[in-house]
Structure 1
Amino acid sequence: MRRFVITVVAALAVVVAVSGAVLAGTGGGSSVTRARLERSLPTEFARLYADQAGLLGHRGVTPASLQARAMCDKGGAVEPDVGPGSNWICLVSWTDPNVPMPPEGYGKFEVDVHSNGCFTAGGPSKLVGFQTITDRRGREVTNPVYEFDGCFDPNGDNTPTGNEFPSVLNVTTTALLPDAERKVSLQLSCGTGSAGCQGTVSAAAGDTPLGTVPFDVSEELTTSLHFPTPVPQRAQSVTFTVTTTVGVGPTSPVTLPVPPARP
C-alpha cells in the first residue's frame, strides 16, 4: 500500500511539473503582462529621451513634459498579450516640440521581453534618431534611446492602462499587374493597433473610375482588393484614394504605374 501511495504522489508531481512547463511556455501565469509593460516602457523611454534632449541642447524637455504613453501587443490579434518573447510591439506616443509626430501620433517599438521582467526596446530612427548622434558640442555620442533596456516589478500594478492607438493602413503593392481582362488588384496591410483597419479605396485611371471597394482588415494582417472596371488600354497609371473609418491611412492618393498593353 505504501508503494502505491508513493507511486501516485510521484505521478502527480510529474503532471504538475509538465503543466507548469506548458503554462510557462504559453505565458499562462506569467508576470510579464501588457499592463506592466505599458507602464514601465514609457517611463524608461521618457527618462532616456530627456537625456538625449540634454545632449542635443533641447531645453525644456523633461520626462514629465513628454507625457509618454504606450500600447503594447504580443504576436498580433491571435496571441494573448502575456508572457516573455521577442514578438512584443509597443506603440509609444510622446510630446516634443522639436520632433513632430506622424499622422498616427506614435512610434512603433520592437520589444524583446524576458521572463525576469526586463526588456530591450528599439525605436523608429525617424523619430528617435540613429545609433549615434551629434551632441551640442559637435561630438558623436551614443544615442540613449536608439535601443535601451529596462525592467518592471513582476508584482507591480497589473490593472489595464486603457491606452489605445489606431492601426496604420499601408498600400503594399508597388506595381500593378492587370489580369487578362485588364482588371487590377491592390494589396493592403494593417499594422498593430486597437481595432484594425476599415474603410474604402477608390481607383481611377485618368478620368476613368475603376470602382470603390470596401475593406475590413484585422491588425497585423493583409488583404487584396479587386476592382471591377478594366483599365483602359492607353492608361499609364492608376491612382488609389484611401478613406479610412477605422485606423489611419495614407494622407495622399497613391499612384502606381501600369505596364503597357500587349498589342
Structure 2
Amino acid sequence: MSYFRKKQNEDKVFRGSYVYTRNDNVYCEENFDLYKDKKDYSLTFQSQIISRVSTGELLNVSIDYTVNKDYIPQKVIIDRSLGEDHVQELFIFDSRSTRINYSLITKTGEEKVTLNTAPKFHIATPSISCSMLFLRSKKFDNTGKNFYSILGSKNFWKFDEEPSFKNIMLQRTNTTTETINIDGKSVTATQYKLEEQSDNLLDVAPSVRIWLSQHYTIPYLIKTPDGTKIQIKYLNNLDKET
C-alpha cells in the first residue's frame, strides 16, 4: 500500500485503516502499515490519507514517521498532492546537536530552517495512527496530568512560518481499561483526555477524547468537541513474535 519503500531490516507488524466522520458524514480515510526494525527496534509508521476537497479533486497525504526505541522522532516525511500541486515537508532530528532540520519542498524551491528542541518531543502530522507515540517517550503518571512538547507546522502548500512547539496535557480518565464497541466488535481500550495548554490560564480548550489500543499506542477511537469522530476500521496484528 505504502508510498514509501520498506527498509531492508524491517518487518511489518501491523496494518490498519481509519474512517473519519463529521455529523455522520465520511470525509476522509487513512490506511497505514507499521514496521519494526529487527536490529535497532525503531518503529516506522507509513500512512496514506485520502480526502475529497470541495472542488471534487482528491487530496492525497502520505506520511513516513520513524521513532527510535525510546519513541523519539528521528525522521518524518509528509508528502501532499492535489491536482498539479505537490509539496513535501521533512523533519530530520540531529541527536548530537539536539536540533531538528526542517525543509519544505515545493515546485518553486526549498525552504530550510533549523529548530532547537528538548531531548523529548513529538512531531504532529495529519496521521492518526502515529499521533500518540509520545505517550511512551517518558514514564506516565496514571493518576495525574502529563505534559508533552509537540512540534507542529502550519505550512501546507507554501512556507508561511517556522514550525513551532506547543504544550499539551494528557490524562487518563480512569485507572482501568474499558470495553468499547467498534462496528459490532468488542475491544479493550484505555481512555484518555487531551487538552492543548494556553499561556492564558483562563483559556481552557475543550478536551479531545481518545481510546487507545494496547498496540504501540495505536488509537481505536478519537472524538473531538466539534463532532469529528475517527474510528478504526480494521487493525491486523502481523507480528510473528506475538
Tell me, yes or no, whether TM beats 0.5: no
With normalisation by structure 1, the TM-score equals 0.26
Structure with the greater alpha carbon radius of gyration: 1
Name the structure with the higher helix share: 1
Name the structure with the higher strand share: 2
